[in-house]
Every structure is written in structure tokens, then in C-alpha cells.
Chain A
Amino acid sequence: MPRCTYFFLYDGSKVKGEGDLTREGICYFYPEETPLDEQELLCGQLAGAGRCVSELSSSPVCVLRLRRNKFAIRMKDDFFWALGCPVEVPTISVCELLDQLINLFRFYNGSVRRSYQLNRPETLASRWAQYLSHLQSGSSDLHHIFSCLRTIDATNIDPLLLLKAALILQACQRCPLVSAGCVLFRGRVVSTQISPELTMKVMVHESETYTKGPRCNDPGTFNSFGGAVSSTTVFLTVSELQHLQSGPGDKDFRSHSTPHKKKPTRKTRLSRTLSNTPSTESEPSDAFSSPSFSRRLSDSSVFSPDPSQSGADPTPQQPDPPFSNGEPSPEAEEEVPEESNYESFHSNGNGVSQMHNEAGGSLFGEDSRLNGGGGDGDAARGPVFDFRGAEESRDHNVFEEVSGGGCGNVQGRGAESPDPARSDDSPLIPMTLYLHRVKGLVLALLVEPCFLSDTDSMEEVYHSSLASLNGLEAHLRTVSPGASGPQGPYLFAHFDCVQSTLTTNLSARPGGALQRPFVRATSLLHSHFCNTETLQEAIIRSAGAAVYGTRSVAQETYFQQHGGSLRNSGIPNHQDSAFSLPGKARHRLLKHGVNLI
């Protein structure tokens, strides 16, 4: 079912004067084939009416409904986001979808305003399209209702495998530059140490690299590791970072004991970027006295884009010549020497990479089906991603300049501490997302940016996990995906709010007529639970189905019994089968690991 009917980002700052055309303000519009005047109409009217209402109420509009569509709205500075869905979709799900979308963009690109200053709109349009398609792809209606993570079906998997995945992650954390991570298999979570929201974000890049397949010329790919390892810069909010640092994986290393041995490589690249003069000499080891650290502090505005600083200030914030004007031309981007980025790894051959490519290729077809994006769509997006690849390399450089001294500097981050009021444009802290792929299996780690330049750490992480990953992949591959438990004379859905995971016996294929009443009731009840904190359980019955829903702080469970005598008058009757649902649910769901007592 097409879920999102419209999505657009409109920049009101581009349409201030009398003669300004509405189209100037349209940053991105989905569906892209919408005639331009319809785009203008929707953007202009919705943004105009939205602004008028928000002025009257002195608060931004967050939901706007039309007769046929409902829109989640976000208004921030001059930006106006609108995401429209059919009216049947619960409002809360529409709002969650829009937040996910914006957060995804910020995760991979940093501040939205800044991105539009630095990049061509077409480039960013392709990214919005990519994130939107990722969020909408594949999963069932139930997944959309709960906005939950796609996980592997744990019921068919030996728990030891899950343990093994967790151990791999823990092992990686022995390297102080690794914050936390997750293990994914064919677009589904096997194990994760990071919050559901962050895991969801990480998965976008995973599925992208998966469908794209490893490329030797991809700047984010490390040839040294046979193309199996890639990385990209990502941006975390302060709260995400705090969450990461407070996680069980944290060993409190960041506040002290920054290994000195990393410095040379890092400073090498930094000084080269700064002066365009390659240098391998060692720098003073004290990060706090080095000019790079103070620059990181002074340049923090790049990633905490207070518009008063980054937008309005005409003086270049960054002293670096290539990017000082904030509007790099494509030529400038091309100037970035891709190969030289990770030259320290170049000595390694890439024969393994080729082999892996072949192995990966066989998975490709299967994957495009699993991820639901459709082979055609991916093929069509191919060139765009190539371009993006080029951009990414530039991103790395920007990042390196800015946070050059930033490895493990808690203090440096503290200096960028957020203004909580500007939650949407709160400071973003750059980190690196490291991916190690073994066929369908991916180890994704959030690492300190300097990890990439730290050959020893990187090799240690790579080699210490390689064997385990191979083993895990081999085991997971043998688990047949479709062999979920017996269907049973009932339907259920169990949503874990903490882990944001869903367990259900509904078949993944949409359109099961028998399932539709259950999905509809679940959607209504979920909205009700979300809006009423004190609500614990409910039974609702239409002529076609009686559905029981119950929730606790940590979970929501929905249950429907097939058959039974639904034929009744609807008058209160204690022998009515609808009222035996709670008992049946408790009994039946035990074997699915759901305890309702």
C-alpha cells in the first residue's frame, strides 16, 4: 500500500519578496512527477495557511488534515516540512514517519540548512528520495503502525547465535575508539547495542551499501579490507551521544587515555588538508594545546548551526581555503583526491575484494527483493549514488578539518553543548559509521572519527571480528526465512516499546483479507493507547472481529481469535466469546514468548 502520498520541504526564506516564485522555495517534492503548478499550489497554500495558524496560536502547526490526506508538519526557522498520508493512517504514525525522515537526513548530512548551503538541491533531493523509499519499503502495515525496527525472527534462531552477535559487538568495543554498534542480517537487526532510533538510522546506510554492492572506487570503501569495509560520516544529536556514552559498552575511556599513537596519522591528514602539503611528521601530542583543538572549538558552529552564526555571518567560519565560502562548486568537490584519503591502507592488495564482490553479487538479487526497494528503482538510483559517493568524500574532509583534533575529546563536545530549546537544529556531533560486510551480514559500528586513520585499531577490529562474522553469517544463512511458527487459530501482534520491535504471526504479505480487520483494530487501539496514558486494556468488536489489546509500560499486545461465534446481538452477555479473549491471549501467547501476566 502506498503510504506516503506527499512529502515536501519548502524553504520560505527563498520566497520572501513580492516577485519570488513559489517554486524557488521548493527544496524537494514527492512524488517527483507531480506537475510543478500542483507542487507550487500545495507548498504555497499549506505553508501559508500553516504560518497563519501558527502565528495565531504562537506555536508551529504539527498536524494538518485535508479531507483526503493528513499531513504531519514541521516548521523550523524558514523550513516547512509536510508529509501526507491517507487519512486511515494513524496520525501518530504519520508524525513519527516525518520525524524519522528528518532525523535520517540530519544523521547522514548534518544540519539541513547547512546541507542546502553546501550542496546542490538535486543531490539532496536524491537523498530525501532514498530515505523516504527506505522508510516505506518492505515491511507490513503493522510495522508502519508501530514505526518499529525490522528484526530477524528470533523464534527460529538458535539463541546462541544472538549471543554470538552480541559478543562480536562487545569484542569490538575493546577498541576505545568504538562507541557501540549493531549486527544486521539482510536488512534486519540481529543484535544491537544502540537505541532503536539510532539503529533504524544506521540501517539505511546498510541497506544502501547492500543493494549497491561494494565498489572499489567508492571513497567510503576500504580497499585494504577487500571492499568489505566502508564508512561514512554521520551526525549524532547530543542526546544520542549521551545515550551512547552512558551505554553499557562505554568503558569511560573517552575522558582520558587517548592513545597517543594515533596522533601522527591524524595530524598528517589534518595538516595536509589544511595546507595541502602532505606531511608525516609527528605533531605535539597534547591535543589540548594543539591549534587543531582550538579550531575544533571555534568551528563548532559548523555543526551547531545557529542561524545567527552560520547563516547570517558573512565572514567565513572556516579558514580552510577550499570550503571557506560554504558553497563549493562541483569542481571543488572533484578536486578532493579520493585515493589519498586512506593511503595508509593502500599497501594492502585488493584481491580479496574482488572475490567478495563476486560473492556479494550473488546475494544482490535476493537482497533487492528482501529490502523491497525493487531492483529497478535501485538501478535507476545508481548514478545518483555515485555522485553521492563523491560528495561523501568531501564530507569526510570537511569533517576532518573541523574536528581534526577531536578524537575522544569529551570536553570539545561539551563546548558545543546544545541549546535545548532548538531541538530540531540542536548541535550535531560528527561521528563515523563503520560497516563491515560479510555477504548478507553487516557489522555496523559507530566509531570516533579518528578510528579511520588509526590503522592499528581498524585492523584489530577488523581481524578480531572477521572470523566470528563469517561463522555467524554461515549459520544465519541456513535459517529459512519463511519458516515462522504455526499460524494457529488466532492473530497476534506484540510490540516491545523499549526495543521498538514487533513479534507477530501475521504473514508479511499484505492484503490478507482475514488480517485486515485485525490490522485496522490494532491501528485504532494503538492510537488510543498512545493518547491515553492510563488505559491498560481494551476489547473492541465490530461485526467481523473482536480484538483484545493490552499494554504495559514496556509493551503492547493485540490478539484476535479466529472463528468462534461472532454471530450475536451485541447485547451485554458474559458468555460472549469476546470477553474470553484476555484469557485466551494469556494462554496462547506464552509459546510465542509473550507473557501477559
Chain B
Amino acid sequence: MKCLLIASESAEVLFHWTDPEFQQNVQKQYGASQEDGQGLPAFEDSISTLFAPIIISCITMVDRLRDSYTSFTTENHHIYVLHQFDECLYIAVNGDGEEGECDLRRKIYVVKKMTEVLFGMVTLSSNLLRKELRPQDTEQRARLWKHLQSLLQTYGHLRENDQSFLVEAVERLIHPTLCEQCIEFLERRLVQQLNSSGERAGEEVMHAFILVHTKLLAFYSSRNASSLSTSDLLVLIIMAQNMYPSNTDSDDPNPEVENDRRTSGSGPESFYTPEPSPPPDRGSSSSGGFCGRCCSMAEDSLQTLEVPPPDPSTPRRVFLEVSLKDGLYPMMPHSMYCLPLWPGITLVLLTKIPTSAVAMSVYTFLEAFAKLEKRLSEGQEGSAATRGQRTIHEVRGKLDKFIKALGPTEIQVCWIEFKNLAFTRGGPGFSRHLIPSCKKMKTQLCAVYRQCFLLESGSSSIPQRLSPGLQERAQSMVQEKLMDWKDFLLVKSRRNITMDFPGLIHFICVDRSTGQMIAPSLNLTERNTSELGKGPLAQFIRRKVWTLVNTTRRYLQKGYSTVTFRDGDFYFCYFLWFENETGFKLEAGDLPVLSDDSAPIGMLAWDYYRKLLRYYSKSHQGEVVKCYELLTVHLGVVPAEIILQHCRQLASKLWEPSRNPLL
């Protein structure tokens, strides 16, 4: 019983995702009286009717009480979590007990993050985002929603099954020699060759990495690239997994099994399969997006889905954070090439597109207007409103040129209007009257951005990308390099490290400064590959570990950095600490105490640890501060002193360079 909904302030459903149970529940309430062939709109109508009163009430509360709902819980343990980002209200529902309030809030933030990666700065204008999320054209809308639904489903699957998505840090394959070789290969052979090719259509490979399932084998960034944030990298892994779902639950990485494994049943890219007109016999089963697709698979309509997928060599547009010397540029356009090497092993290339400088300009302008608007609405006027860096005065000249280059467009009109108000002698100048004009400029800039980076340049024109031939060459180069290793890698990815501490059942160690984690495998359905084997005990431990992470986050949210508890036959420990670059342990300071409905603690959707490090570094100026976390599960019979010794040893040993390549 799960549902996620995005609604506008006028209670229009901008996106929804429901699982089959939730859909059935809704249909039951509506008597399931849909006629054949009108599944989708009917379901959408009923869901929007059902939620409308909640949405409207939520908006009313904000307007009149300056407070808003954050959650509802019913006696049968259904949970509704609500969160508003600008003018979009997100509602996540769970009725099967599998997700708690914090999981649902996290999911909402993850969806928000996904829209940022998919739509970039368009998300800064609620008006434009609304149109983007809910295209007028129903077929286009269905395709987009299916894609988002599929991403959400993939995220849900990873979050439930993959430890690196549980703690939201990237897991590396621990094989220092091979890892080093691969990085060298990516640098000297692959990226160099790609970037010197004439078939790259002006694109430049900035990052290249190899994934074995969800684990990172090698990551290379070119010299002039900024580092890729953990948050972005995790989303890219979700996207890669969504395109080429890896079969982590089976020992036999057989592509046939793979396609049947997930409830999605989605083969590569099938979500982008443009459906011909929906076959009338599908009925209501096709109404619910994801599950509808499942059912239709069962109805032997595989035929319709096997319509040739769009050219796999077409890159995906993604918007990623770029940090340069002069500052942070969020949501800069990149192209993402996801090249499958073997089932479970994927090469990902991220390129900077030739027009990306435009995005930087747009961001600079947007920031200037946003700052100005903020100050004006705080009541500051005149020069007080335009202090600081990247102000309107600074960008004025650049913006003139920029708009001139765009030619006669709507933004030109707005800009002239703005200048008349702001800069004309005797005009209102920098005062409250300028706020509407600021807003207009921001919307116009977002529209320009959308025009440049989101709209396809039309199918007739040659798509701008690394040529298919170049992509194929890259693929086969890496395949050749890893041919002898591939089976080893697939096994290794499931048995990454081993433990030699009697009584220690499991641990997770995270380096929050680099966003990387290390943990013994907990895969359940594999044959004899997990440290714990399989069966009820492993399942039990897995559930405990998942709960443990949620619990410790709750304590961390309230400022507790050490937590231990005895629960049933087990003893759990959690530690968070800071070190400087030389490994010297820094004194534990006061951690911020956050409210219950604060952004989720993690790195995927909202980087809590980045903010924590910044907060802590204030009292350690001039030092590079690193942050680590350790979680352990011991048998309860082990004496506490031994448990603590284990923890201490793990904490120091795991980060020794000889043991693993994290440092």
C-alpha cells in the first residue's frame, strides 16, 4: 500500500505513483466502475478527487495559520507524510508497514532530487516545473510519468536491498590493484582517446566510472572537472540501475533471469518505449503506470513492449552540481552515457556539453535576482538590497549582452521593464515594487534555460552527442580490458570484505567526507555468498540492520553521536566521530538538534553530512575535518568490553590504506 503524489496548489495532480495495492484500494472506494479503455484518466481522476480535500486544507493552513501538515497516522498504521517545496505539495503514503514516517519523508526528498537531476533549474520556477511534470500531451505525460515511476521503484528496491542506499554512501569494490589499473586505464586510454576524437560533437568527457551492480570499481575525473558530489553520484547509480537492472538476488547473472526478476520486469529502457495507441483490451490494468505495465506483461502483451527502444546511444540529459573556483553551480547540464559491458557491469560516461557556459550565466543571473528579491521582501531598500557578490549591478552588463544574443524574446521585454523600474532616475528604484519584476525575470531565465537544455532539438536535426561509433569503441575497449576479470568482479561484488572478529555479526563503516561506505555483504537470496548465508537468520539480521540505521539517524537528529543498545539477543553500536587529515581524533562537539520533520539525514537527497562538516569545521578552522561513522551488530552474549574493542579495531583498521582504497 504505497503512494507518492505531487500536487500543485490548485490541487492538480502533477505526478503520482502507486503500487497495485494502493491502486486497488482507490478503485475499491470508487466501485471500480471504469469502462474498458479509459483506465488511466479514470484512475488519475479518482486519485485527485480523493486527495483534493487534503491538498486544499494543507494550502489553507499555510495561508491562514503559517503552519502546515507534516504527517497523519491512522489507527491501522497508515502513514501520510506531506511536504511542500515552493508551490508543489508532495504526499507520500504507506499502508503496509514497510515504511516509516522518516522513510516517506526521505522518499519525498529523493523524488525532489530526481526532478532536479532531470529538469535542472526549471525546478526553480514552480510554474514551469508544473508544465514539465505534467505535459499537456497525454502520451508524453504517460511516458514521463512511467520513467519517473520506474526511477522511484528502482530507488525503492535499492533502498530496501542495498546497504549503500540504506546509508546513502557509495560502496567501492575492494581490490586495490585492479582498481588502480582500471583508473589508469580510464585516464590514459579511454578518456584521453574520447576527448581527442573528432566524433564527440563538442562534448567533453568529464567523469568516467565502472559499476559492478551498484558498487564502484573505478572512478576517474578529468583534470579540469570539478568533483562529482555523492548525492549526484548516487542518483546516477539509480539511473544506471534503472536502465540496466542488475540481478543482485541471483548467483547466475543470466540476462533472461534478470529481466524477469524485478516486479518491474523492465528490460533496458523499456520505459521509454513509446506505446502505440493503448490496446483496448488492457482495460484498467494499464491505468496505474507501473503496475499496469506489470499486468500487461502478464497479459502476454510483451509484443507491444518489444517495440524497438529508442536509440540506446542517445544520452540522457542530467543536471549535476559543479563546484568551480568562483563558486558552486548547481544543476549544470551534462550528458550521461550508460554503456552496458556485461549484465551487472556498466560503464558510465558524463560529458560536459558545449553550451554549458550558457547554463552558468543563467545561474549567475538567477542567483542575482533571487538575492535581490529576498532582500527586498525582507524590507531592505536601495543600496542595502544590492550589497555583496554577484549583484544585479555586477551582472547588468553581462545580462544585456546575453539577452541581446538571444534576440527579440519575451525576456527582453521583461528586462527592459526591470531596468526602467530599477535604474531610471526618479523611478521606484530598489524597493518592494521591484519584487514582481524580479519574479518575472527569474521565470524568464528558467524558460530560457528550459529552451536551451531540456527541449529536444527536434528529431530531424542530428542529435548532438558522442557518435554511436565512438560509444561502441569505448564499450569494447573496456570490455576487452575487463574480459578476464568479469566473473571475478561479479562474485567479488557480493563478497566484498570478510570479517574476523568472533561474535561480530555485521558492521557498516562510512567515510562521510568522501561519501563512501564499506560493509560485509547482506544479500539474502544468493547461494552461500553472503557472510550470513541465507534464510531466516540473515533476513532477521537484515531487518535489524535496516531498523538500526533508522534509529541511529533519529538519535543523530537529536544530537546524539554515540548510541548503543541491547535488543533481543543482539548488541548494537553506533559511533560518529571527527578526525583531522592526519587521523588525529578530534573532540566531539555539540551536534545540531533538528526538528522531527527536518530534511532526512543522509547524502542522497539532502546532504546532511556536508552541512554537519561545515558546522563542525567552524570550530576547527584551518584543519581539514573528516567525519566517520561505524555501526556494528554483535551477539548479545559478547561482553561489552570485547564489543568496544572490536569497534575500536574496526574504526582504525578499516581506514588503513593497505586494507582498502578509501583513503
Contacts and interface: CB of A to CB of B under 8 A. Distances in A.
B70 A65 contact: yes
A522 B577 CA distance: 23
A579 interface: yes
Nearest to B644: A574
A49 B559 contact: no
A1 interface: no
Contact of B551 (A68, A528, A578): A528
Contact of B80 (A53, A55, A538, A546): A53
B56 to A, nearest CB: 9
A52 B589 contact: no
Interface stretch (A256-264, A270-278, A487-495, A563-571): A563-571
B61 A66 contact: yes
A49 B564 contact: no
B630 to A, nearest CB: 7
Interface stretch (A56-64, A98-106, A314-322): A56-64
Contact of A53 (B25, B74, B564): B74
A50 B590 CA distance: 39
A60 B74 contact: yes
A539 B565 contact: yes
Interface in A375-417: none
Contacts of B60: 41, 45
B71 A570 contact: no
Contact of B74 (A54, A67, A571, A573): A54
A538 B563 contact: yes
A250 interface: no
B68 interface: yes
Contacts of A48: 53, 57
Contacts of B61: 45, 66
Contacts of A578: 562
A61 B554 CA distance: 24
Given A573-B644, A573-B648, A574-B645, A540 B563 contact: yes
A50 B72 contact: yes
Given A65-B69, A570-B575, A579 B644 contact: yes
Interface string B529-559: 0000000000000000000000100110011
B324 interface: no
Interface in B574-625: 575-578, 585-591, 595-597
Given A53-B74, A67-B597, A536-B567, A569 B64 contact: no
Given A67-B68, A535-B565, A578-B562, A543 B590 contact: yes
A536 B566 CA distance: 5
B54 interface: yes
Contacts of B70: 65-67
Interface residues of B, number: 64
B503 to A, nearest CB: 14
A486 B60 CA distance: 54
A569 B586 CA distance: 5
A69 interface: yes
Interface in A219-267: none
B251 interface: no
A571 to B, nearest CB: 4
Nearest to A51: B53
A576 B57 CA distance: 51
A59 B74 CA distance: 6
A539 B648 CA distance: 17
B303 interface: no
Nearest to B559: A542
Given A49-B72, A62-B74, A64-B69, A524 B555 contact: yes
B53 A49 contact: yes
Query: For the side of the interface on A, what is the size category?
Result: 35 or more
A520 interface: yes
Contacts of A582: 640
Contacts of A528: 551
A542 B591 contact: yes
Contact of A542 (B29, B586, B590, B641): B590
B342 interface: no
A544 interface: yes
Contacts of B58: 49
Among A57, A59, A536, A541, max chain B CB count under 10 A is at A57
A289 interface: no
Contacts of A59: 74-76, 78
B54 A52 contact: yes
A66 B83 CA distance: 11
Contact of A570 (B29, B80, B554, B577): B577
B407 interface: no
Contact of B75 (A38, A60, A541): A60
B76 A58 contact: yes
Contact of B568 (A45, A50, A69, A534): A534
Contacts of B170: none
B564 A538 contact: yes
B589 A572 contact: no
Nearest to B62: A67
Contacts of A359: none
Contacts of A167: none
Contacts of A538: 563-566
Contact of A574 (B25, B597, B641): B641
Contact of B575 (A69, A537, A571): A571
A87 interface: yes
Contacts of B576: 570
A579 B54 CA distance: 48
B195 interface: no
B562 A541 contact: yes
Nearest to B61: A45
Given A66-B68, A87-B595, 6 more contacts: A53-B72, A538-B563, A540-B560, A541-B563, A571-B648, A572-B575
20 contacts: A41-B60, A53-B74, A62-B75, A87-B595, A535-B565, A539-B564, A539-B565, A542-B561, A542-B590, A542-B591, A543-B588, A543-B590, A546-B562, A568-B587, A568-B588, A569-B578, A569-B587, A570-B588, A573-B648, A582-B640
Interface of B: 25, 29, 50-51, 53-54, 57-58, 60-61, 64-65, 67-76, 78, 80, 93, 95, 551, 554-555, 558-568, 573, 575-578, 585-591, 595-597, 630, 640-641, 644-645, 647-648, 650-651
What are the 9 A-B residue pairs with the smallest beta carbon separation, nearest first?
Answer: A572-B647, A569-B585, A574-B644, A570-B588, A59-B76, A538-B565, A57-B78, A570-B577, A541-B562
